[in-house]
Structure 1
């Protein structure tokens, strides 16, 4: 059996598929300064998503045309000559991309599985960050373990990250869900050792388990870093088709009566209510939450959401 037969396209991801996305990693930005005012990264999020920021270089004599806001009044008062403070843009803003490849991601009803879309989004983000000249690394969270790729400004480093994603993605065919709290604790302890301050942290998951521990971790990381969440979802998780369905795994099957209008309404309300509550909690900490579905092309969606001005 060939790889293409064992790991069908859109159900699983291949390294070649991810590498092709490098060409599409343009036309969007994770920096709030390059967003429209009404963008999800604009407005109130702009002060949180700082971009690279500025490093102080020196104080020099004022030159006509200097921004008056850069005048150093203390030095000016001491020397009786106008002086300006000179800043330069920070050389880098390292990024860490955390991508979920656990069992709940192994689902798709129309075109792709959530795990494939998450992998594609991680690749697009990694290539984009590298193009902007910053270090990029990643964490792959899976049922059978965690992979860490430390941030480097190196295309080969991205290749290693994508290889880890593909390997964990293919393990989904046989993996079994583990205790979430235990796996989460291990993941978070490793992430905290990497992320210090002024990082861009992108977390890609279905966020089906809105546990207090998860929310606590995300908000703690956001105190000194820019955090963006990307929720990957499948349409069937939001709305049950109006017909009878049989859902199952290798061990159990479940009959779902989609003809039941009340069941469909309740199902949709639960999905939307829980997601809105999660977004509201994140909004309090100025953490944007992006929504990416499994039907439309991933690069098209991210460009629509994060289109440059």
Structure 2
């Protein structure tokens, strides 16, 4: 098309220079934030829920700077808050305010329900960012002579079947991103002697002896297997995922993660 020729550049280069037009499409970013009871845990200055809120706020501001729409779903074992995606600074400030200060009524987890809700609310393909610890699934774990359900499922099944189905369905319709929020003490048990642990979602209480080196080693091995299996599950489903911890800076890792995604998207 002769209209695409840049005549000024053509004159300087002595050969035809064709302008290439790249369409910049407006994106819709939906932040899906887990407010279940397990997010209240934190071994340092910040709980998992506080870190998730901070990261979600950063992503919301980033979306607005890119002139994208941003929306919000806050969920426990039900969808507790929904803000439809819109543009604008006032809108994003409302989103951030809800992320930071909303108090959930319930403590359980229903990620499949939240994902089904998102699919109903978003008729067009969107970027859906799920911020969660992904600990909604439980299985019995033995601590000495006691059996507890507080630890995650074994590595062979890091996510409940219903969650896997919901993730696959959501990813077929949208660009799904999983941001896993975790804490160092969920990965490595501290040597603090006898502790009484309470599951923030079920209320179950169990006493364990963290002074036992064998139990600490078994816990670390189990959690390592779980984390590796979870990453593998996301990779198998084609879902981009990143793990962020409450005790570590996240800015560089998060920036690199989304830069890599953007470069891959531009390559097509």
TM-score, scaled to structure 1: 0.65
Deviations along 1:232-256, one digit per CA (max 9) or x if unpaired, are: 0010000111231423459665332
Query: Shift of the alpha carbon at 1:115?
Result: 0.5
* 1:83-232 correspondence runs (5 A): 87-143=21-77, 145-168=79-102, 170-171=103-104, 176-178=106-108, 180=109, 183-209=110-136, 210-232=159-181
The verdict on how the C-alpha distance between 1:60 and 1:103 changes in structure 2, with shifts beyond 3 A counting, is: farther
Query: Shift of the alpha carbon at 1:307?
Result: 5.6
Q: The residue matched to 2:177 in structure 1 has which SS?
A: strand
Are 1:108 and 1:234, in contact at CA under 8 Å, matched by a contact in 2?
Answer: yes
Query: Shift of the alpha carbon at 1:95?
Result: 0.7
2:240 to 266, 288, 297: 288
The verdict on how the C-alpha distance between 1:252 and 1:216 changes in structure 2, with shifts beyond 3 A counting, is: closer
Query: Shift of the alpha carbon at 1:280?
Result: 1.2
Are 1:242 and 1:258, in contact at CA under 8 Å, matched by a contact in 2?
Answer: yes
Unaligned runs of 5+ in 1: 1-58, 68-85
The verdict on how the C-alpha distance between 1:226 and 1:167 changes in structure 2, with shifts beyond 3 A counting, is: same
Unaligned runs of 5+ in 2: 6-15, 137-158, 264-268
- Report the equivalent of 1:273: 225
Query: Shift of the alpha carbon at 1:120?
Result: 0.5
Aligned mates of 1:271, 1:237 — CA distance in 2: 7
Aligned mates of 1:198, 1:60 — CA distance in 2: 34
Which stretch shifts more, 287-296 or 191-200?
Answer: 191-200
Query: Shift of the alpha carbon at 1:217?
Result: 1.5
Aligned mates of 1:253, 1:223 — CA distance in 2: 39
Between 1 and 2, higher relative CO (CA 8 Å, sep ≥ 6) is seen in 1
Query: Shift of the alpha carbon at 1:212?
Result: 1.6
The verdict on how the C-alpha distance between 1:87 and 1:245 changes in structure 2, with shifts beyond 3 A counting, is: farther
Aligned residues: CA RMSD: 2.7
Are 1:137 and 1:157, in contact at CA under 8 Å, matched by a contact in 2?
Answer: no
TM-score, scaled to structure 2: 0.74
Aligned mates of 1:242, 1:101 — CA distance in 2: 29
Question: In the alignment, is residue 233 of structure 1 matched against residue 143 of structure 2?
Answer: no
